A and B are shown apart, each in its own frame.
Chain A
Amino acid sequence: MDFECFTSCLRINLVRNAMPHICAALLLTALTPVIFSLTALNAQLSAQPLEMYLALTGMLLLTPVFLPEQDDTVRDVVRVRPVSYLQICALRVIAMIIILLLLYAAVMLLMQHGSCQISLSHFYGGTASAVFLGSIGFCASAFSDNTVIGYMTAIMYFILNLSAKEELGEFYLFGMSSAASLNKIWLYIGAAVLFAISFAYLKVLKKI
């Protein structure tokens, strides 16, 4: 894929496909100071908006990656194009993760301005939860070929986290908010595995 094609794909995808989802994620982020107090919070309370609320941006941005081509006829058209469909999807995933990191950075700047006790580990831990939640929706969408099932799986996993802390172990999303000493690297590894098996399934079994 040459650079011009790359930027063109990225621009068209952002404007034509991803914009409603980006707008929803922006709205969710903009509401953070309304729902949470972002001043003078200690380290544990600072993690709450990042893990229990902003993590939903991961679901909003990453679950609908396959949505534009959910219709088989559109997918058939995409298949005959010279650029690989899965390369385009990978590009979308990277773009969405960058947007997600920017949204987190914006909220954390606001928290720093409000004298909250935050550090880089909050950024790392918060984004880990968001990317993992998004990867669950992404993977379920890929396997079922249905974005509704993607959202259903991601939302159910989020709800499960509200009551099953012990059972989820290292894959518990709200580790920092509940002062559990979890290594968030597992969430990133889990997300990477889910992205990889989704692409492998589409490439090898579905022959896309």
Chain B
Amino acid sequence: MLLLKECKKIARTFVYLIFSALVILDFLTQFQNDLFPDNTFCKPVEGVGYYGEICDPHPELIMPAATESLLNHYLNNQFTTYPFGFYRSVKLNSEKSRKIMMILEELTGQTDQELRAAITNEPESTYDNGISETYFDYRLPELDIQVDYDTFLLLMEETDSILGGGSFYAPASLERTFGMVDMTYEQAAAEYDSFVRLDHVTNGYARLWCDYHGLILGILPVFLVAAFCTLDRRSKADAVIHSRKTGSFRIILVRFLALILMVMLPVLLTAVWGDLLVTRFYPDMQLDHLAMYKYMLIWIVPELIGVIGIDMLITEVFSGITAILLQFVWWFYECLTTQLSGDFSVFHLILRHNTFHNREIFMNQLNLFIQNRCFIAGLGIVCMLLTILIYHLKREGKFHGFRVLHKLFAHQSRA
């Protein structure tokens, strides 16, 4: 059977051994590291201890705080953004600065002069915000916001766009930056109740397990794809395989399935292991022992289909090393720009929910989650179909892959 043969071929590669070791190491250092007696979720006791923070997106809280912050940045003409996950200091020219002032005027109903006159502290009050220029921390009386929340969000979106993106004023960041409040006992009790009654403990941990594996499986399969898909070329078996009767569709489809199955093996092992660990830490609870596998199917498998499909296509069209470098760039960008939780979007490769709490945040974005996983899996399947076409053209001698730089710098004989 061809599928079994291909699986054996993958299992015999050195890269697969390293891959499996890294998946298990990731599980031990990340997921298992989070499972220790002091970190178990206990029922909160009223009036005892700190219950943590929660994002409570009340417009009355977010609008004045964001406006005051924007005003401070405007007066200093020094804005902080993280467009690629790294710090970036933005200074605006007079035209863009005027646009920000107009936004502030619309938000507060006050002119530039009136706002400057309302400052309540001495301007020499400074702090080091990471850059070597002085930053003045202006304090203002409570601001009365003149617009409704929808208009406010539109104005904040415009502000983010003027700043070049990646600022605290992007609507997706606003709630996390300006809407965090301390959790009350009632909120903590409700959180615990949903963890026990709705998540049956393991569903919460399954999301955390998927978060850790989803992150590392956004990059690791590319090495396996690059090594496996170039194996024929390295062992000079490609000419023999090309002349066989087996169709291109069957060869590529079987390789695609073999890669997914073999990647899933160590992942499945950690799912069983994870379930046993959670069971040991919550011995008296009613647990859902299928949770890990359910989440694995809806979270990890679509990601693997996407990553493996895309990487197979790049390897076939360009080369394995090109696939590694492009996948690393994509993965690194995703890591830097994706928030630890509550930041789902249709086009992200990596979805994060780095906690076994906060079921509500996950469920509120369930539709986005489903759309995203369908998109990523669909993209992977389309890429796999394109790989079949490319492979077929190569077999017929009509295409030999793009080697742009190779052609450009190829040695030309002077003879």
Residues on A lying within 8 angstroms of B by beta carbon are 12, 15-16, 19-20, 23-24, 35-37, 39-42, 44-45, 48-49, 52-53, 60, 64, 67, 70-71, 115-117, 144, 146-149, 151-152, 155-156, 159, 162
In the complex, 14 of the A-B residue pairs with CB atoms within 8 angstroms, ordered by the A residue number, are A24-B325, A36-B88, A37-B87, A37-B89, A40-B131, A41-B131, A45-B131, A115-B132, A147-B321, A149-B18, A149-B223, A151-B223, A152-B223, A155-B328
Known interface pairs A149-B14, A149-B18; A19-B219 also in contact (CB < 8 Å): no
Interface size on B, residues (CB 8 A): 35
The answer to whether B245 has its CB under 8 Å from any CB of chain A is no
How close is A157's CB to chain B, nearest CB, in angstroms?
A: 12
Q: Convert B1-30 into 0s and 1s, putting 1 for each residue whose CB lies closer than 8 angstroms to a CB of A.
A: 000000000000011001000100000000
Q: Residue among B132, B230, B320 with the most chain A CB within 10 A? A: B132
Q: Convert B79-92 into 0s and 1s, putting 1 for each residue whose CB lies closer than 8 angstroms to a CB of A.
A: 00001101111110
Known interface pairs A40-B132, A42-B132, A117-B132; A52-B409 also in contact (CB < 8 Å): no
The answer to whether B62 has its CB under 8 Å from any CB of chain A is no
Decide if A151 touches B324 in the complex (CB within 8 Å).
yes
Decide if B234 touches A71 in the complex (CB within 8 Å).
yes
For A148, what are the chain B residues with a Cβ–Cβ distance below 8 Å? 15, 223, 226-227, 230, 320-321, 324
Decide if B90 touches A37 in the complex (CB within 8 Å).
yes
Decide if B89 touches A40 in the complex (CB within 8 Å).
yes
**Which residue on A lies nearest to B225, using beta carbons?**
A148
In whole angstroms, what is the CA distance A24 to B410 when docked? 18
How close is B136's CB to chain A, nearest CB, in angstroms?
A: 15
In whole angstroms, what is the CA distance A46 to B320 when docked? 34
The answer to whether B406 has its CB under 8 Å from any CB of chain A is yes
For A19, what are the chain B residues with a Cβ–Cβ distance below 8 Å? 405, 408-409
For B406, what are the chain A residues with a Cβ–Cβ distance below 8 Å? 20
Decide if A151 touches B321 in the complex (CB within 8 Å).
yes
In whole angstroms, what is the CA distance A23 to B22 when docked? 31
For B133, what are the chain A residues with a Cβ–Cβ distance below 8 Å? 40
Q: Across the A-B interface, how many residue pairs have beta carbons closer than 8 Å?
A: 87
Decide if A52 touches B86 in the complex (CB within 8 Å).
yes
For A24, what are the chain B residues with a Cβ–Cβ distance below 8 Å? 325
Decide if B87 touches A16 in the complex (CB within 8 Å).
no
How close is B86's CB to chain A, nearest CB, in angstroms?
A: 5
For A23, what are the chain B residues with a Cβ–Cβ distance below 8 Å? 405
In whole angstroms, what is the CA distance A144 to B17 when docked? 13
- The 10 A-B pairs with the shortest beta carbon distances in the complex, nearest first, are A37-B88, A20-B405, A152-B223, A37-B89, A35-B84, A42-B132, A148-B227, A19-B409, A148-B226, A151-B324
The answer to whether B130 has its CB under 8 Å from any CB of chain A is yes
How close is B78's CB to chain A, nearest CB, in angstroms?
A: 9
Contact of B18 among A44, A152, A162 (CB under 8 A): A152
How close is A98's CB to chain B, nearest CB, in angstroms?
A: 19
The answer to whether B244 has its CB under 8 Å from any CB of chain A is no
The answer to whether B411 has its CB under 8 Å from any CB of chain A is yes
Decide if B411 touches A42 in the complex (CB within 8 Å).
no
For B223, what are the chain A residues with a Cβ–Cβ distance below 8 Å? 148-149, 151-152
How close is B407's CB to chain A, nearest CB, in angstroms?
A: 11
How close is A94's CB to chain B, nearest CB, in angstroms?
A: 21
How close is A24's CB to chain B, nearest CB, in angstroms?
A: 7
Known interface pairs A148-B15, A151-B321; A41-B132 also in contact (CB < 8 Å): yes
For B226, what are the chain A residues with a Cβ–Cβ distance below 8 Å? 148
Decide if B411 touches A16 in the complex (CB within 8 Å).
yes
How close is B346's CB to chain A, nearest CB, in angstroms?
A: 24
In whole angstroms, what is the CA distance A155 to B328 when docked? 8
Decide if B15 touches A42 in the complex (CB within 8 Å).
no
